[in-house]
């Protein structure tokens, strides 16, 4: 039997659900936040935030980051990688445009989130190194240990 989740179907899911919870190492404890993101064909994930935000400051000190994104009745995706600042102004502008295009279809979209590029923002590129998928198409977990589909990059 073929796996339900392929790299192509995972990428499609991420593009259809571009809102994730992210976690980083804070000063004394882990911190999390919601981010709108864009995933490119190579599973690089881009998101912007205020340059003075806790997540930007934390990532500039320690680039390790993890994300989770889910849709009821579909899947839970968890992934991790290392973040780096996109310093090229044109690339940063292009990727922020990609974030805007990917997220405008969200039913609970909050437009002020995209106003960030009008302020002193920083754009991060996260090179995904690990991603796992838990299929949620069944409302009842029948196994003691749910089966994840794992991908390494």
Cβ contact 70:136 at 8 Å: yes
Measure the N-to-C terminal CA separation of the chain; round to a whole number of Å: 23
Give the β-pairing of 19-25 and 75-85: unpaired
Give the model's pLDDT for residue 128.
97
Q: How confident is the model at residue 66 (pLDDT cuts 50, 70, 90)?
A: very high
Q: How confident is the model at residue 1 (pLDDT cuts 50, 70, 90)?
A: very low
pTM of the model: 0.86
- Higher-confidence residue: 145 or 79? 79
Give the range among 43-52, 99-108, 134-143 with minimum mean pLDDT. Answer: 134-143
Place of tokens 């994730």: 20
pLDDT at residue 108 is higher than 50: yes
Q: How confident is the model at residue 62 (pLDDT cuts 50, 70, 90)?
A: very high
Q: How many Cα atoms occupy the beta-carbon half-sphere of 19 within 13 Å?
A: 13
150: Cβ contacts below 8 Å, ≥ 6 apart: 130, 131, 132, 133
């Amino acid at each position: 039997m073929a796996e339900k989740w392929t790299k192509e179907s995972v990428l499609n899911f991420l593009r259809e659900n571009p809102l994730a919870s992210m976690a980083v190492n804070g000063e004394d404890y882990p911190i999390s936040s919601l981010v709108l993101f864009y995933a490119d064909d190579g599973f690089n994930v881009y998101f912007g935030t205020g340059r003075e935000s806790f997540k930007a400051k934390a990532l500039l000190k320690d680039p390790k980051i993890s994300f989770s994104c889910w849709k009821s009745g579909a899947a839970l995706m968890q992934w991790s990688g290392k973040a780096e600042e996109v310093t090229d102004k044109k690339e940063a502008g292009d990727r922020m445009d990609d974030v805007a295009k990917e997220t405008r279809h969200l039913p609970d979209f909050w437009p002020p989130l995209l106003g960030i590029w009008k302020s002193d923002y920083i754009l991060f590129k996260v090179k995904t190194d690990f991603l796992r998928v838990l299929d949620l198409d069944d409302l009842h977990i029948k196994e003691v240990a749910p089966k994840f589909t794992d991908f390494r990059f």
